[in-house]
Structure 1
């Protein structure tokens, strides 16, 4: 189970100790690049490329393995950045191996990270590839804002809000672009295309729909991000989704 967007397993030891040997990714993880010190700010183009690389890694385990694998702990800390600022999905310790297809879910013990869990998983332990899709949507919000998945209030822990809520609030504002500007990472300055930010926000919003049936597949997410990373401003929504409701979500209607 490996493609070039996943950290490569080099070998293992079963003698005096048990351990796995992975390739060394020397440039830290996405969480560190977005919120840590000592890292150069990521440009908008680099953020889109990181999103695309990560999406391809997830698409591989969802679409190209038999049986299907589900990561269950997608978050910015589990996306490693190499010396060329390319991303690789890491930490498959919680991966769920299942015989089910993409449209079916299993029930299992809840593991993962608060802020990235979809409702059906946090409440009932229902697992499907759409669990990873939801978490990936939160990562897209992180790439835009550089904020934690849960934005904690300085006054009261009970006032903490998730990125999903904050971005939905911005999208529902009278002027969504103005709402988004208050969430965009200040390190980007003015060096970003607001229309592209809006498109990525709509993609993240589609990924984080409460109903898992309304979320796109990772294959569709990859296609959307490939389009976003190109110079073309034309987004063919009908080519991305079979579900007309998702087309409307992605196009902002």
Structure 2
């Protein structure tokens, strides 16, 4: 199970993203997640990537004819919603541009405000526009509980240049990759990881088999799986999605795109696109949930950098298998369900694409593990990360009342005429001692 190798000059510890690879040629174009969609050179020549992307947009034209419930926003509305795209409300940044937390008013009730995530695509090059079109065409007509909901979009061209924005439902608990990394102190519990595996399988099964046409995600990875306020997992970022083969065809021929460590070997070698490349990526993701590691991590010892190569020798017996389980779980996991989940991952990672199961079959396997194995109870706090932030703010307000209310008058100025020094003892709960 080979993964892409990095060039020796690569310094970034994030998995790289392949934007184009000319099949049969020795030259490849590689970009890290941060650099994805940034290069302008690929848009100045009619190379494989450009032709493939143009074909992708054309192939989704049929979807744009279906009814869409998306709102059309003005750029002025987006500036207001995001405080003029202030860095104080930025919640993500990549080669595509920035993602900002914003607030819009509900169309049903103008007095009701809705939290949203606003993605502002980079104005450099045509790739961002094409992926914007694909995202609008896909999520404008496709809806499922395990797909992030696109609420609307903005497209304006003026003297400032091209403005392309997408407005999504706000996902307060960020991405699965964020939680598997060391970014947050509280790790995802084993039960929560199992639920995420189930939700992600539902989302992919719907894209592959739940409609009268098939969508191949092409960029399935932990950073594209977001968590809502109830820790439900939803697939996001459909800019690289393609319609699956039709009219009796076995595959779609495309330029190779995706992220290093997730791409299926046959896709890398031939550019032949089928739904089984998403199945391979899902198998990689399951091992991410089990190990807590990235598919490729240059910061680890050389023999541990490629996750799939590292786990393979540990699958032979129970004692060795336990060595690959995420140490951040601190032993709080169901070994039996972890072994069964690894068995599902192995089915997804068969080198012969035709031998891999369909996503509906994989979903049944995961459902069976959930039903027949004691996976434990999710240990996450009920409140989401956003709620925790609000809670921190409320504590600040409470402390402000404790200390400042006796000192200030109606105009929040020091009321020196009435104030007298007084020692106030504060207990551990932040309340004055009586």
- What's 1:117 paired with? 263
Separation in structure 2 between the aligned mates of residue 54 and residue 31 of structure 1, nearest angstrom: 13
Contact residue 216 and residue 243 of structure 2 kept, 8 A: yes
Contact residue 208 and residue 275 of structure 2 kept, 8 A: yes
- What's 1:105 paired with? 251
Q: Which moved more, 1:48-57 or 1:33-42?
A: 33-42
- What's 2:146 paired with? 5
- What's 1:43 paired with? 189
The partner residue of 2:306 within 162, 167, 173 is 162
- What's 2:393 paired with? none
Q: Structure 1 14/154 Cα, relative in aligned 2: closer, same or farther at 3 Å? A: closer
The partner residue of 1:186 within 292, 302, 327 is 327
Q: Shift of the alpha carbon at 1:191?
A: 1.5
Separation in structure 1 between the aligned mates of residue 348 and residue 215 of structure 2, nearest angstrom: 18
Separation in structure 2 between the aligned mates of residue 70 and residue 199 of structure 1, nearest angstrom: 26
- What's 2:349 paired with? 208
Q: Shift of the alpha carbon at 1:42?
A: 1.1
If asked which structure has higher relative contact order (CA below 8 Å, sep 6+), I would say 1
Separation in structure 2 between the aligned mates of residue 44 and residue 205 of structure 1, nearest angstrom: 19
SS at match of 1:84: coil
Separation in structure 1 between the aligned mates of residue 338 and residue 249 of structure 2, nearest angstrom: 29
Separation in structure 1 between the aligned mates of residue 248 and residue 177 of structure 2, nearest angstrom: 28
Contact residue 45 and residue 229 of structure 1 kept, 8 A: no
- What's 1:92 paired with? 238
Q: Shift of the alpha carbon at 1:100?
A: 3.0
Question: What aligned pairs does 1:1-253 form with structure 2 within 5 A after superposition?
Answer: 1-16=142-157, 17-100=163-246, 104-152=250-298, 154=300, 156=302, 159=303, 161-171=305-315, 173=316, 175=317, 177-232=318-373
User: Which runs of no fewer than 5 residues in structure 1 stay unpaired?
Assistant: 234-253
Per-residue CA distance 1:10-68 (angstroms, 9 max, x = gap): 01123453322111111110011111323521111110000000110101110012321
Per-residue CA distance 1:164-194 (angstroms, 9 max, x = gap): 22233222x3x2x212111100111221121
| Higher helix proportion (structure 1 or 2) | 1
Per-residue CA distance 1:124-183 (angstroms, 9 max, x = gap): 111100000000101100000000102436455xx4542222233222x3x2x2121111
* TM-score (ref. length: structure 2): 0.50
Separation in structure 2 between the aligned mates of residue 74 and residue 232 of structure 1, nearest angstrom: 27
| Higher strand proportion (structure 1 or 2) | 2
Per-residue CA distance 1:81-132 (angstroms, 9 max, x = gap): 1121110001101001134389922221000001001110111111100000
Separation in structure 2 between the aligned mates of residue 137 and residue 192 of structure 1, nearest angstrom: 19
User: Which runs of no fewer than 5 residues in structure 2 stay unpaired?
Assistant: 1-141, 158-162, 375-434
Q: Alignment RMSD, CA only?
A: 2.0
SS at match of 1:18: strand
